[in-house]
Chains A and B, each alone.
Chain A
């Protein structure tokens, strides 16, 4: 270190060859996770949910998998059994929030604009507005996208990936990050199986390649098949 100016040049008082009032590049180690701030807020959210016995379910899927229909039918089935509130994430519009509002349950719409996913801060803010009661369920309907939401911890209690039989059975292989983090995969629209080219055996094999021992509930949200299993899965997680 330069004893005169204190800079990191390798100079001493007797061997002082640099002039003062000069600039140096200093390396500052940060060693910080890029998502550190998101993960801190997520951890706070998780603590709050746990302390209040709130089950926060992060629902993720591609657009058109039937998330909102599954959600409205779920709310109807949980009526008189569990208090439910909803955080609705979309890039634009509050069409989906209107569908939830029609069920009579509280909902906060989060429009992400150019963003393609919800993050922990958005959920924190939405949940403060919702102020869910203790021992209730908060469904967080993420932006329809199988890529970006995979990376963002919201502080949720469980991550549920919804996929429909009108999509390719190889989707788990195409979006491994998303399926790998799923606590549950809901396979929706099974009433359409006779009409589409979807191979459930191939789907199970593809899923097992990214998620060992996966938990799958096949449902038809519109016809009601499998809904009892899905409702049971939710109720078992309320303590």
Chain B
């Protein structure tokens, strides 16, 4: 269940960057070849976020498609199975082009705008 420590790493990274600012949404990229179970991350997220500025935030998971290229025959193909085999030559000498992402793409934070004391009077 490495998803627990990965989710902890997500919350830690967000709090590191944003301090006490309340977070309303966290968007992650988790590819099908990353070795991470998205449902487990969802399961852990609220648990890990509790008591932090991330508590209550919506978790959005973007799942980029898996793409790979065969080093032997050069074929490029889509793949979402962790056993990467070239559909052209059945070889395993394959390079992942995308789908192994495990990234924090962005977060949304709530900030209050306060009118500066010296702001000009505006027609309203």
Q: Footprint of B on A, CB under 8 Å?
A: 2, 4-7, 13-14, 16-17, 20-38, 114-117, 119, 147-148, 150-152, 173, 176-177, 208-213
Contact = CB atoms under 8 A, between A and B. Distances in A.
B12 A37 contact: yes
Interface of B: 1-2, 4-6, 9-10, 12-14, 17-18, 24-25, 28, 35-36, 82-85, 91-94, 102-116, 119-120, 122-124
B70 to A, nearest CB: 10
Contact of A21 (B82, B91, B93, B112): B112
Contacts of A23: 110-113
Nearest to B103: A33
Contacts of B102: 33-35, 151
Contact of A24 (B13, B113, B122, B124): B113
Contacts of B112: 21-23
Chain A CB within 10 Å, residue with most, of B5, B83, B112: B5
Contact of B113 (A5, A28, A115, A213): A5
B115 A117 contact: no
A91 to B, nearest CB: 12
Contacts, number: 131
A116 B4 CA distance: 10
Given A5-B115, A25-B24, 16 more contacts: A4-B115, A4-B122, A13-B120, A24-B110, A28-B106, A28-B109, A30-B107, A31-B106, A34-B103, A35-B9, A37-B12, A115-B4, A150-B35, A209-B92, A210-B92, A212-B94
A23 B112 CA distance: 4
B122 A21 contact: no
B83 A209 contact: yes
A20 B122 CA distance: 11
Given A5-B119, A28-B107, A36 B13 contact: yes
Contact of B104 (A32, A38, A150): A32
Contacts of A22: 112-113
A176 B83 contact: yes
A36 to B, nearest CB: 7
B106 A29 contact: yes
A35 B115 CA distance: 39
A177 B81 CA distance: 11
Nearest to B85: A209
A148 B36 CA distance: 9
B68 to A, nearest CB: 12
A2 B17 CA distance: 25
23 contacts: A4-B115, A5-B114, A16-B123, A16-B124, A21-B114, A21-B115, A24-B111, A27-B106, A27-B107, A29-B105, A31-B103, A31-B105, A31-B106, A33-B102, A34-B6, A34-B102, A34-B103, A37-B12, A148-B2, A151-B2, A210-B83, A210-B84, A213-B93
Given A32-B13, A119-B5, A209-B83, A7 B104 contact: no
A111 to B, nearest CB: 15
A215 to B, nearest CB: 14
